[in-house]
C-alpha cells in the first residue's frame, strides 16, 4: 500500500509565512524554494503534487512570470497562487487561459482556507482531473475522441522509449534517425526532446537547441552522424 505523503512545492521567500505553512500543512512533504528560478531547477529532482506560488519573490522575481513554465512542465499539477498585491484583474488573468493557475488566495492567507484548498486540489485536480476530461470527451461523442486519446497515449509511449534509448547519453541525438525509427516527423521528435529536457529527464546535450522554436532549430547546426541511431 502506498503511504507516501503528497509533496507540496512552496515558492515563498518570507520565513515567517513559510513557518505558518509548515504548521498548517504538517501532514504533507513540503519542499521550499525562495525564487521561481530555483523552483524550476528543483523540478529536475522532484515531482510535486501541488505547487504554492507566492507572487513577490526574492531577487525581484514575480511568481506569475513563471506560471507558464510551471504549467508547461507540470501540466496536471494544481498551482495555488498566494499574493497580497494582485488586483482583481490580475487575479482573473492568473485563473484564465490554458496555462492558468487553479486557485488564487489573498494575503494575509486564511490558513484554514489554505488547508482546505490543498485538500481539494489533491482530490479534484491532477490525474483525476485528466480522467474526468477524457470521460467528458467520450460523453460528448466527438467523432475524433478516440483519435485524440490514441495520440496522447502514443506520444507518452514514444517519449518513454526515447528516454530509454537516450538516458545517460551526453551527445547530440540523431533526430532524423529517431524520426525514421518511430515513423514520425522530425518536428515530432524535436517536440518530444524538448518536453523530456524540460522535465529534467534528459540532459540538454542531446538537443542543445531545445529552448528555440522548432522552426529555428531545423535551421541549426548539423546533427551527429550516429548519436541515438542504435
Q: Say what the pLDDT of residue 224 is.
A: 53
State the DSSP string of 71-134: HHHSTTS-EEEEESS--HHHHHHHTSSTT--SEEEESSP-HHHHHHHHHHHHHHSTHHHHHHHH
Q: Which three cell numbers stand for residue 83?
A: 499574493
Residue of 117, 59, 62, 66 lying closest to 86 (CA atoms): 62
Under a CB-based contact definition with an 8 Å cutoff, are residues 8 and 46 in contact?
no
Ordered by start, the domain boundaries in the chain are 7-129, 144-218
Residue of 58, 50, 79 lying closest to 12 (CA atoms): 58
Average pLDDT by stretches of 10, the chain with 230 residues: 80 94 95 94 90 89 88 86 77 69 87 92 70 54 56 76 84 92 91 82 87 62 46
Q: Say what the pLDDT of residue 16 is.
A: 93
What is the chain's length?
A: 230
Q: Say what the pLDDT of residue 18 is.
A: 95
What global pTM score does this model have? Answer: 0.57
Q: Say what the pLDDT of residue 132 is.
A: 54
Q: Say what the pLDDT of residue 14 is.
A: 92
The helix/strand/coil state of 22 is helix
The fold for domain 7-129 equals: Rossmann fold (3.40.50)
Q: Say what the pLDDT of residue 229 is.
A: 37
Q: Say what the pLDDT of residue 73 is.
A: 86
Cis preceding-peptide flag for 108 (omega within 30 of 0): yes
Q: Say what the pLDDT of residue 63 is.
A: 86
Backbone region of residue 123 per phi and psi (left: phi > 0; alpha: psi in -120 to 50; beta: other values): alpha
Amino acid at each position: 500500500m502506498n503511504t507516501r505523503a503528497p509533496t507540496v512545492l512552496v515558492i515563498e521567500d518570507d520565513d515567517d509565512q513559510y513557518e505558518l505553512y509548515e504548521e498548517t500543512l504538517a501532514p504533507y512533504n513540503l519542499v521550499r524554494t525562495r525564487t521561481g528560478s530555483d523552483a524550476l531547477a528543483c523540478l529536475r529532482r522532484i515531482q510535486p503534487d501541488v505547487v504554492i506560488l507566492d507572487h513577490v519573490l526574492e531577487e525581484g522575481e514575480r511568481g506569475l512570470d513563471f506560471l507558464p513554465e510551471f504549467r508547461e512542465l507540470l501540466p496536471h499539477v494544481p498551482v495555488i497562487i498566494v499574493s497580497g498585491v494582485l488586483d482583481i484583474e490580475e487575479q482573473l488573468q492568473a485563473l484564465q487561459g490554458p496555462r492558468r493557475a487553479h486557485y488564487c488566495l489573498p494575503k494575509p492567507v486564511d490558513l484554514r482556507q489554505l488547508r482546505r484548498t490543498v485538500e481539494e486540489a489533491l482530490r479534484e485536480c491532477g490525474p483525476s482531473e485528466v480522467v474526468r476530461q477524457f470521460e467528458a470527451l467520450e460523453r460528448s461523442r466527438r467523432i475524433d475522441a478516440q483519435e485524440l486519446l490514441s495520440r496522447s497515449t502514443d506520444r507518452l509511449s514514444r517519449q518513454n522509449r526515447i528516454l530509454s534509448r537516450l538516458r545517460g547519453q551526453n551527445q547530440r541525438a540523431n533526430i532524423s534517425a529517431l524520426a525514421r525509427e518511430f515513423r514520425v516527423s522530425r518536428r515530432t521528435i524535436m517536440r518530444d526532446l524538448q518536453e523530456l529536457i524540460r522535465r529534467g529527464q534528459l540532459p540538454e546535450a542531446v538537443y542543445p537547441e531545445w529552448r528555440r522554436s522548432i522552426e529555428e532549430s531545423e535551421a541549426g547546426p548539423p546533427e551527429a552522424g550516429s548519436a541515438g541511431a542504435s
